[in-house]
Homo-oligomer: A and B are copies of this chain.
């Protein structure tokens, strides 16, 4: 068995209303100056928690995160200035992937001599001295479990990954109650993102038994519950299952990570501002059709985890799995074609060029993807 490094928060508090336990967390108790970065719609839900800390004598500052879309370098600088002014010893991020990515980078760069531009890439951050707690409000990103953060370079329209073990939070609170107010559309898109984390890790060129366990369980949890949560946002059993599935998806990101789906979605997000989860959701079935011949057995196992019955061959099972995936996606109201989100034939070469640069993820794909392959995949989805 190959060697693999699993890095995760040392403490994961999971469950309904688990956020109420935050004021008693040892990381909070040992901190004096606590910075909350909170997605705007969640401030009221989190207020009792930071009020409790203030009452206990902690200095608490709340930054209301309300940037639309992927966070840019400039937007992050604005946040960093606020954080540097406050000098926190603990940062708590509450929100979706953008908020958590920014909270992670704030904890890494506040009071650090390294500049943001110096740490773009893999393993360049030299350390982190500020405690970091992440609290997801979607079941999708997995950022709360991973060493990854993504910012948008507003000049080049390219998404830039900052990858470092120091970006893994010390602790995270996964409270399904925080996801209840998420609208059906965002539930669907973020859920399909989490599903793609699991599927891309399991079918990955660098898949590993220690991560397969998370991937397969995550696939089943999300496949069984995404439609339920989209149809009835207050179904807490479904919300909890999605939170757990998303947690498993997040655990796949550090050690194995994603592959061609995420690489091909880079241009859709960076250039055309398509939401990350939506871009992945549209791409996922067609990329799986492309990849399947490289490992029919692994794709068949994904299909079984999706709830499909064993077919006569691995290929047949795998293809039935892709159909099942599309059924789930359709039932949750996800568009199935790029044309529905404004993508046209003439931009496909540019999208493919952007994808070809994401070698960090393409190298993980079970089948080599050329520019022509990428264009063909995009074209089939028009």
Residues of A whose CB lies within 8 Å of any CB of B are: 1-18, 21, 26, 165, 168, 170, 176, 209-210, 213-214, 217, 236-237, 240-241, 244, 247-248
Contacts and interface: CB of A to CB of B under 8 A. Distances in A.
Nearest to A3: B15
A167 to B, nearest CB: 12
Contact of A21 (B3, B213, B236): B3
B217 A1 contact: no
Given A26-B165, A165-B26, A209-B244, A6 B1 contact: no
A112 to B, nearest CB: 16
Contacts of A237: 1
Given A8-B10, A12-B6, A165-B26, A213 B209 contact: no
B3 A11 contact: no
Contacts of A7: 10-12
B176 A14 contact: no
Nearest to A10: B10
Contact of A11 (B6, B15, B17): B6
Contacts of A214: 213
Given A213-B213, A213-B217, A244-B209, A168 B1 contact: no
Given A7-B11, A213-B214, 20 more contacts: A1-B16, A1-B236, A1-B240, A1-B244, A2-B16, A3-B13, A3-B14, A3-B16, A3-B17, A3-B18, A5-B11, A5-B14, A6-B11, A8-B8, A10-B10, A10-B170, A11-B165, A26-B165, A213-B213, A213-B217
